[in-house]
C-alpha cells in the first residue's frame, strides 16, 4: 500500500453562506467534520487543510489537521480551480518536505456528513485497480439528462444527449440511469494531478451513493444539522399510526390497513440510531372499539421498531405542535 494524503480545501469567505467552512453545525465548525472523517479513516496516512486564512488554519490545527502552508491569494478566489489548489499543495510538499503521496483524497469541508467506510472502500478500489486514474462519488440524478436541451440564440433546441435517437420522446423508464457527482469524496492518483494537470484523468470510476449533504445554502446547512442531531440518538420521536405508518383507512376498519413502507424504513433508522420511538394512535377513540391486539400484530408484521405504543390520542381534523417534523422533512433527511 502506498502513501495516502487527504486534502481539505477550505478557503475563507463565502457568498452563499457567510464563512460556511467554519460555521457551527451542532456546536462544531463545519470543516472539523471532514478533518475527523479523514483522521478516522484507516486508509489515510496524513491530513492537511489548504486555506488562505490564519483563523481557519488555527481552527484546523485545533481539530487535528496539519496546515503546512497558507494558500496564496490567487488560489483562493471564487474562480480558482481545484486543480490549482491541489497542484500548489502537492508542489509545496514535494519541494519543502520531499513528500510525494501515491493517492490524494479530496474531502470538501462543505460535506459534514459522510461514512468513513466509503473513504476506505474508495481508496482500496484505487489501490487494487492501477489502471484507474481517479474515483469520485456519484448519486442517481432526479432530473434526466436525456430530456434536457441546449437552446441557441434563435430559440431553437438541440438535445444534450445524442447517443439514443429521439431519447427525449421516450418514457423515462426506458432510458439508462444517469448520475451526478455529489462532491462527497474524490480519490486521485498524484501523478494524474502533477503530470496530466487533471483532477480526474481519463479513466474515472464511480462510487455510487444515495445521499447528498453538500452545503451551499442556509437550508442545506439546517438539513445537515438536523440530520447530525437526530443520528446521534437520545431523542424521543412520537409517530401517529394512521396516515404516517399506515395508509389512511377511510371506513375506520383498521384491520385492512396497509403499511407505509417508506416511513417504516425511516422509523427503523431512527430506532437504530438510538432514539426512542413512541407510537400514538386515535384508533377506537370514536367507535370505542379496542384495536390494541390488531395494531400490535400489524406493527410486528410490518417490522416496525418501537419502544412504546399508546392509545387515546384525540381524534381531530388538524393537529398543531411546535415541535412537529413533517413527513416530507423526514423523507428529505433519511430517504
> Tell me: the pLDDT tens digits for 118-141?
999 999 999 999 999 999 999 998
Instruction: Give 160-178 pLDDT, tens digit per residue.
Output: 999 999 999 999 999 999 9
- The answer to whether residue 225 is domain-embedded is no
Domain boundary among 217, 247, 269: 217
* Residue 216 pLDDT class (50, 70, 90 cuts): confident
Residue 285 has a pLDDT of: 82
Same domain for 170 and 83: no
Same domain for 162 and 42: no
How many beta carbons lie within 10 A of that of residue 160, not counting itself?
Answer: 13
- The answer to whether residue 61 is domain-embedded is yes
What's the domain count of the chain? 3
Question: Under a CB-based contact definition with an 8 Å cutoff, are residues 51 and 11 in contact?
Answer: yes
Residue 154 has a pLDDT of: 96
Domain boundary among 165, 192, 217: 217
Instruction: Give 175-184 pLDDT, tens digit per residue.
Output: 999 999 999 9
Instruction: Give 6-57 pLDDT, tens digit per residue.
Output: 999 999 977 778 889 999 999 999 999 999 999 999 999 999 999 999 999 9
Residue 294 has a pLDDT of: 94
Same domain for 167 and 157: yes
pLDDT over 70 for what percent of the chain? Answer: 100
Same domain for 131 and 263: no
- The answer to whether residue 226 is domain-embedded is no
- The answer to whether residue 223 is domain-embedded is no
Same domain for 92 and 24: yes
SS percent in the chain: helix, strand, coil, step 5: 35, 20, 45
Residue 214 has a pLDDT of: 86
Same domain for 95 and 21: yes
Same domain for 166 and 49: no
Same domain for 256 and 148: no
Measure the CA–CA gap between 300 and 39, rounded to whole angstroms: 41
CATH number for the domain harbouring residue 307: 3.40.50.1000
pTM: 0.85
Which SS3 state, helix, strand or coil, does residue 99 take?
Answer: coil
Same domain for 271 and 213: no
- The answer to whether residue 134 is domain-embedded is yes
Where in the sequence is the domain holding 280, given as residue range(s)? 233-334
Instruction: Give 67-86 pLDDT, tens digit per residue.
Output: 999 999 898 888 889 999 99
For strands 149-151 and 134-140, give the pairing. unpaired
Same domain for 167 and 29: no
- pLDDT of 144 > 80? The answer is yes
Burial 208-245 (b: 16+ CB within 10 A, else e): ebebebbbeeeebbebbbbbbebbeeeeebebebbebb
**Which is nearest to 105 in space by CA: 224, 185, 193?**
185
Measure the CA–CA gap between 247 and 260, rounded to whole angstroms: 6
Same domain for 103 and 15: yes
Residue with the three cell numbers 422509523: 267
Question: Under a CB-based contact definition with an 8 Å cutoff, are residues 106 and 214 in contact?
Answer: no
- The answer to whether residue 227 is domain-embedded is no
Measure the CA–CA gap between 90 and 100, rounded to whole angstroms: 7
Averaged pLDDT, 249-259 = 86
- The answer to whether residue 37 is domain-embedded is yes
326: left (phi over 0), alpha (psi -120 to 50) or beta: beta
Same domain for 80 and 25: yes
Q: Which residues contact 104 (CB under 8 A, 6 or more apart)?
A: 4, 5, 6, 7, 86, 90, 187, 188, 189, 190, 193
Measure the CA–CA gap between 190 and 26, rounded to whole angstroms: 35
- The answer to whether residue 228 is domain-embedded is no
Residue 325 has a pLDDT of: 80
CATH number for the domain harbouring residue 196: 3.90.550.10
Amino acid at each position: 500500500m502506498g502513501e495516502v494524503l487527504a486534502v481539505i480545501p477550505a478557503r475563507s469567505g463565502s457568498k452563499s453562506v457567510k464563512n460556511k467552512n467554519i460555521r457551527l453545525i451542532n456546536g462544531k465548525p463545519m470543516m472539523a467534520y471532514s478533518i475527523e472523517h479523514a483522521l478516522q479513516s484507516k486508509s489515510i496516512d496524513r491530513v492537511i487543510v489548504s486555506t488562505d486564512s490564519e483563523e481557519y488554519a488555527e481552527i484546523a490545527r485545533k481539530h487535528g489537521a496539519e496546515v503546512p502552508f497558507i494558500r496564496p491569494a490567487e488560489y483562493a478566489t471564487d474562480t480558482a480551480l481545484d486543480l490549482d489548489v491541489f497542484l500548489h499543495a502537492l508542489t509545496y510538499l514535494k519541494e519543502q518536505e520531499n513528500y510525494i503521496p501515491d493517492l490524494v483524497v479530496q474531502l470538501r469541508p462543505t460535506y459534514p456528513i459522510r461514512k468513513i467506510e466509503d473513504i476506505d472502500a474508495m481508496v482500496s478500489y484505487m489501490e487494487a485497480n492501477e489502471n484507474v486514474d481517479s474515483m469520485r462519488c456519484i448519486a442517481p440524478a432526479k432530473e434526466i439528462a436525456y430530456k434536457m436541451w441546449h437552446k441557441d440564440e434563435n430559440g431553437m433546441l438541440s438535445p444534450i444527449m445524442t447517443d439514443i435517437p429521439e431519447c427525449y420522446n421516450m418514457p423515462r423508464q426506458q432510458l439508462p440511469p444517469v448520475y451526478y457527482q455529489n462532491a462527497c469524496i474524490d480519490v486521485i492518483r498524484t501523478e494524474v494531478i502533477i503530470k496530466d494537470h487533471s483532477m480526474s484523468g481519463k479513466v474515472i470510476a464511480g462510487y455510487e451513493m444515495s445521499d447528498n449533504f453538500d452545503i451551499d445554502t442556509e437550508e442545506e446547512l439546517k438539513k445537515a444539522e438536523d440530520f447530525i442531531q437526530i443520528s446521534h440518538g437520545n431523542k424521543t420521536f412520537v409517530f401517529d399510526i394512521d396516515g404516517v405508518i399506515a395508509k389512511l383507512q377511510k371506513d375506520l376498519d383498521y384491520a385492512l390497513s396497509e403499511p407505509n413502507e417508506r416511513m417504516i424504513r425511516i422509523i427503523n433508522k431512527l430506532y437504530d440510531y438510538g432514539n426512542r420511538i413512541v407510537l400514538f394512535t386515535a384508533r377506537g377513540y370514536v367507535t370505542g372499539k379496542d384495536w390494541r391486539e390488531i395494531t400490535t400484530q400489524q406493527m410486528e408484521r410490518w417490522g416496525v421498531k418501537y419502544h412504546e405504543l399508546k392509545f387515546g390520542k384525540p381524534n381531530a381534523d388538524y393537529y398543531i405542535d411546535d415541535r412537529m417534523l413533517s413527513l416530507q422533512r423526514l423523507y428529505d433527511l433519511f430517504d
